[in-house]
Structures are given as structure tokens and as C-alpha cells.
Amino acid sequence: MSAHRHDDRPVALDEYPVHQAPLSMKHHVSGDRNAYDRCIFHVFDHTGRALLIAGLGVYPNAGVVDAYATLRVGDRLHAVRASDALGDDRTNLSVGPFTITVDEPLRRLTLSCAADPADPEGLSYEIAWTGDFPAVWEPHHTQRHGGRLTLEGRRFVQAGHCAGTVRAGGREFAVTPDGWTGTRDRSWGVRPIPGEEPGRATEFRPEGFHWLWIPMRFEDRFLMVIAQEDADGYRTLNEALLVREGRRDVQLGWPRTEITYRPGTRHPERATVRLTDPGGEPLEIGVEVLASSPLAVGAGYPPATDWQHGTWRGRDWTDRRVYDLSDPAAHPAAAYGVTDHSARFTLDGRTGYGIFEHGSFGRHDPSGFADHTSTAL
């Protein structure tokens, strides 16, 4: 009889020289229950008809793997979520009806969500995702509540084109490289998952939080803008980068964004992003929002009330549902979570497409928001 329990045996990845610590690749170097490793994809057309958001996450210390997809079409949000016990094969990126296949690392991936025979009008898709520009690092991201590190993430971002088919609600969308854009983000580290006692951290809740994450794909270039600010506008995360194939990345200064919100809300309708080239010349990007998908509805991001990433739902859990987004009051939590907007961008006569991800909660002096109840006039 073996002296080792089955859980202590090596896994397939241990055959490769990829170790960063004297541990099996099955085990995370940290014992933090909030350790995570996940991805998010955005696939959307250039007219605002459809916005698909999909992702898969692994939570090694919680023993959970889960995935989700939402499709915004008109006022309907079609959602599929799945969760299961985490297995030993970390190269098997599948759970429930979802599968992600890495066909060529950092270049080509296949995304699929199998149809449910019991729900022929439910969400399903098969998409080939191809990067048009090199993946680039985002700034190292950390957050603390009091003295405790609550978030530490390493991320890369990439933009490309897509081809395939998306089905939902009795409609079928042909995803074509000339009419659709894809962006993606890969991140890992430590990020809060539900179920932990907050302790004294409740004393350190910020007065306000303002977030922008804007990947923009043009035919000949990719731009990435990130800004995170405190209530008084103090910048705690900053990035403005121009990426082109075969050329050195170019930093574009300190981004400043002027947002026009829908009156009575913090829902952006358009914006202007102001950048600066290395010679000091100004660059101005116009933003027109096409379609919007709140991540707290269907996609499992805080403060979602029906399901959040990393939570244990038992083995082989799958949930499908359709949300009606015509009445914002029906989803009050959405106003306190980040929303992803597909958008059209203009720059020096060029037209591009990407994601305008935004969340503004509580006080934000530069925007004129005094507290959590403040909205645009």
C-alpha cells in the first residue's frame, strides 16, 4: 500500500520545467483561500447588436473551477454559469458546457459553450479567437484594506478578431473577422471570493472608487488605457500604452477621461480620452458606447446576489437563465458593480472598436459625485 494519499501524487505539469517553488504544480505557493487564476473574453459586433462576455477561473485553495458567459442582445441578457470540483489536470480548461482550447499560446484560442438539449433557445457558441497584436502586461495591481493585502494581480491583455457562431433566443449570429472584435484579459494572484469574515476591514471601506479599463483595437494598432482613482481623484493605477506588431511599445502619458453620463445615472454614453505622445503632442480619442453588460448581472462579479466566482455549488453545477435589463431598478446591484461597454473609438481619422469598462462608486471629486447616491445631472 502506498504511503502517500492520492491527493499528494504528482500531476502531469510536474513533468515540465515550469516550477516556481519547491511544490507540485497542483499546489499554489500561497495558502490564501482567495488565490485565483482566470480569464475573461469580450466578443462583440461593431453595430452594438450583441456583446458576449465569457470567462473561466480556477481557485486552487478553494478547490473550485467555474466558468460563465453572458450575451447582451437588446434588453435581454442570456447567461450560463457552471462550477465543479477542481481536478488535477490544469491544462483541461473545461467545466460544464464550457471549453477553452489554447491552440497557439498568446495567439489563437477556441471558445465553446455547448447547447442544452432541454433549452434549444439557450446560449451556445463556437468561436475562434485570434490575437492581432502581442499580449502586453498591465500594471501590477495591489489593494489593501487597512494593513491587509486583499488584492494582488498580474495581468496581460490582448486584442484580436473572431470567427464562429453565437446562438441565443432563437437567433444565430455569424461572427466574422471584419464585423466583430475580440479582447481578452488573463490574470492571476489573490482576489477576494465570497464567504470570508471581513473582520476589521469594514473600518477601511473607501469613500469612493473610480475605475476605467479600456482596450482599443484599430486596424494597425492597439491602445490600452487603465485608470483607478480614489474619492479625491488620487491615481492608484495608471497605464496608457500604444502597441504595434514588431515595434517597441509606446507610452502615452497620463490619461485623462471626460465622461458624459446619462442624466440621473452613472451610465456612460460617450467619452473623450486625452493622451500625450512621447513628443508632448496631444492625442484625443473619442468614445461612443454601443452596448452595455453589467458584470454583477449574470457574470458573477461583485456585488452579484445569485452567484459569484469561486463559490462552492457542489459538483457538476450548471445554471442557465435570461435577465430582463429593460428596467434598471430590477437589478439594483448592477449600479454598484463594474459594467463592460462595447464601444466605437476614433483617433486621428481612424475608427476602432474595444471595451470601455467603467465603474464609479461613492464619492469622486473630479466627476462631481459627492457620495454613493450622487448621479449625473
Query: Which value, to the nearest 10 degrees, does the dihedral of the CA atoms of residues 64, 37, 52, 228 take?
Result: 130
Mean pLDDT across 349-360: 98
In the numeric block, which cell numbers belong to residue 235? 491615481
Phi/psi for 329 (5° steps) reads -65, -20
Is there a domain that residue 74 lies in?
A: yes
Mean pLDDT across 314-339: 94
* Domain around 311: 32-191+206-367
Is there a domain that residue 196 lies in?
A: no
Is there a domain that residue 218 lies in?
A: yes
Mean pLDDT across 162-174: 97
Is there a domain that residue 243 lies in?
A: yes
**Cell match 471549453: residue?**
99
Predicted pLDDT of residue 9: 87
Is there a domain that residue 6 lies in?
A: no
Query: What is the Cα–Cα distance from 272 to 322, expressed in whole angstroms?
Result: 33
CA-wise closest residue to 309 among 146, 103, 86 = 86
Predicted pLDDT of residue 229: 97
DSSP3 helix / strand / coil % (the chain, rounded to 5)? 5, 55, 40
The 10s digit of each residue's pLDDT in 228-241 is 999 999 999 999 99
The 10s digit of each residue's pLDDT in 96-108 is 999 999 999 999 9
The 10s digit of each residue's pLDDT in 45-77 is 999 999 999 999 999 999 999 999 999 999 999
Phi/psi for 78 (5° steps) reads -85, 130
Query: What is the Cα–Cα distance from 46 to 181, expressed in whole angstroms?
Result: 7
Q: Is the pLDDT of residue 1 over 50?
A: no
Predicted pLDDT of residue 328: 85
Is there a domain that residue 16 lies in?
A: no
Give ∠ CA 228-234-238 in degrees, rounded to 5: 40
The CATH number covering residue 287 comes to 2.40.370.10
Predicted pLDDT of residue 206: 83
The 10s digit of each residue's pLDDT in 196-251 is 766 666 666 789 999 999 999 999 999 999 999 999 999 999 999 999 999 999 99
Give residue 156's Cα distance to chain centre. 11
Predicted pLDDT of residue 7: 62
**Cell match 467555474: residue?**
66
DSSP state of 138: P
CA-wise closest residue to 131 among 98, 155, 156, 154 = 156
The 10s digit of each residue's pLDDT in 242-291 is 999 999 999 999 999 999 999 999 999 999 999 999 999 999 999 999 99
Query: What is the Cα–Cα distance from 188 to 44, expressed in whole angstroms?
Result: 25
How sure is the predictor about 41, in pLDDT bands with cuts at 50, 70 and 90?
Answer: very high
The 10s digit of each residue's pLDDT in 6-16 is 567 899 999 99
* CB contact set of 280 (below 8 Å; sequence gap of 6+): none
Q: Is the pLDDT of residue 371 over 60?
A: yes
The 10s digit of each residue's pLDDT in 133-155 is 999 999 999 888 777 888 899 99
Number of domains in the chain: 1
Q: Is the pLDDT of residue 374 over 90?
A: yes
Is there a domain that residue 184 lies in?
A: yes
Which residues make beta-bridge pairs with 181? 44
Predicted pLDDT of residue 2: 45
The pTM (predicted TM-score) of the whole model is 0.95
- Compute the chain's Rg from CA coordinates: 21
Q: Is the pLDDT of residue 350 over 80?
A: yes
Predicted pLDDT of residue 3: 44
Is there a domain that residue 12 lies in?
A: no
Query: What is the Cα–Cα distance from 271 to 301, expressed in whole angstroms?
Result: 24
DSSP string, 65-107: EEEEEEEEETTEEEEEEEEEE--S-TT--EETTEEEEEEETTT
Q: Using alpha carbons, list the distances in angstroms from residue 154 to 105, 161, 163, 164.
A: 17, 24, 28, 30
